[in-house]
């Protein structure tokens, strides 16, 4: 991977991290909306809001898994790049 690719991977990682944080905020907001803030009178609406909160809650671990995968890919690519750089520096010093 090129340095630009590595930077792009890091940028994607940051965006996924922000997405995870936003998903956690939205989950809390949905739950607070139908439990505390609003009088949801229709049972179907209450059930659908409950499902929506659960769906967002289920998404958070998936986003976390994606984030961990991106971090591991970055670390692996960075380590390989550092190894190549080290070999090239040693070769040029000889």
Q: What is the pLDDT of residue 37?
A: 64
Q: Residue 90 above 80 pLDDT?
A: no
Assess whether pLDDT exceeds 70 at residue 94: no
Inform me whether the pLDDT recorded for 20 exceeds 70.
yes
Q: Taking 90 as the threshold, does the pLDDT of residue 23 lie above it?
A: yes
CA distances from 14 to 7, 50, 71, 90 (A): 11, 29, 10, 33
Give the Cα separation of 11 and 58 in Å (integer): 24
pLDDT band of 42, cuts 50, 70, 90: confident
Structure tokens at 85: 């750089």
For the chain, what percent of residues have pLDDT higher than 90?
53
Residue, of 94 and 42, whose pLDDT is higher = 42
pLDDT at 24 over 80: yes
**What's the pTM?**
0.76
* H-assigned helices in 2-42: 3-32
């Amino acid at each position: 991977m090129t340095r630009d690719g590595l930077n792009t991977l890091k940028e994607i990682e940051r965006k996924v991290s922000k997405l995870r944080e936003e998903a956690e905020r939205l989950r809390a907001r949905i739950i607070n909306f139908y439990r505390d803030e609003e009088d949801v009178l229709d049972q179907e609406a209450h059930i659908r809001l409950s499902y929506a909160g659960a769906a967002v809650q289920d998404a958070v671990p998936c986003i976390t898994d994606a984030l961990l995968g991106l971090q591991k890919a970055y670390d692996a690519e960075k380590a390989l790049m550092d190894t190549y750089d080290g070999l090239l520096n040693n070769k040029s010093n000889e």
